[in-house]
Amino acid sequence: MKRVLHIGSTYTFALLFIAAGIFHVIEPSGFARMMPGWPFPYVMVYATACLEWLLAVLLLLPNVRVAAAKFIAVYLVLIFPANLFAASKGIPFPGQENTEQALLWIRLIGQPILIVWAMSIAKWKKS
């Protein structure tokens, strides 16, 4: 049963990352607003979309799953400042004209949850 839950959790996480990458491509301007001062913000947005897709696919491959999950955790730590910036400056969610300030701060809670989730995928051992 634990194995089924782990595989389901892994596939769900991969689907979330694929969806995130798709959303980066659909709403690039919303993500670019989160990176003022960065050179070529649209290139960064598209590059992160591709990285999310790559990591999602690697997460589905048993031989590299642990490494992929660890890279995902690191990636989520690295992009946290962009979400913190968006919350502090009131930058709405991509695809929206405005977002309640409270929701922008609540989104920050989701990032550590995703990090813990990715690490749980990385630490799962076959029994």
In this prediction the pTM is 0.89
Q: What range does the domain containing 14 cover?
A: 2-123
What tens digit of pLDDT does each residue of 42-93 get?
999 999 999 999 999 999 999 999 999 999 999 999 999 999 999 999 999 8
| Residue 126 scores a pLDDT above 70 | no
Burial class (CB in 10 A: 0-12, 13-18, 19+), 9: middle
Give the CA distances from residue 127 to residues 1, 77, 123, 124, in Å, rounded to whole numbers and listed in that order.
11, 30, 12, 9
- Confidence check: pLDDT of 124 > 80: no
**Percentage of the chain surpassing pLDDT 70?**
98
* Number of structural domains the chain divides into: 1
